[in-house]
Structure 1
């Protein structure tokens, strides 16, 4: 019985930390800015600008990359590393910058 109680406490404690974890959209956005910077973009480049793009547009593009609905070389690999919630948070962050 004691083992069950200890296991319950451990699982509840783990779930609590997962639920309370915050998404750091700013930290994720730093990765985006490595390629999507205004100063380094050539008009002929296939790398799109994030300037004046809505959160919904960014979020949809990220989800399309993640779920292989939009082909690209690097972006699908990057997008798959984040949850849908993290992608939504970073899209919102990027749209405000």
Structure 2
């Protein structure tokens, strides 16, 4: 697929970008180059190759999921300004 000069100008108009003829010709070359690279990549035979989530086959070291903090709920509620039924009470902001 290659773009014509009229295609580039139409896209620029739709995008509300002002381009003159010289800029449109430059953009046409760049966009056609990009489309050429896309065509090359699509021509590569990728049958039998699994998709990868990352370029390198790495895995994270995971730590054990253990509790390291003690339950301090009662301590925190003892110093809270207002607590009722185990819930923190805050002033009403929106009526």
Per the normalisation by structure 1, the TM-score is: 0.26
Greater relative contact order structure (CA < 8 Å, 6+ sep): 1
More strand, by proportion: 2
More helix, by proportion: 1
**Structure with larger Rg:** 2
Per the normalisation by structure 2, the TM-score is: 0.26
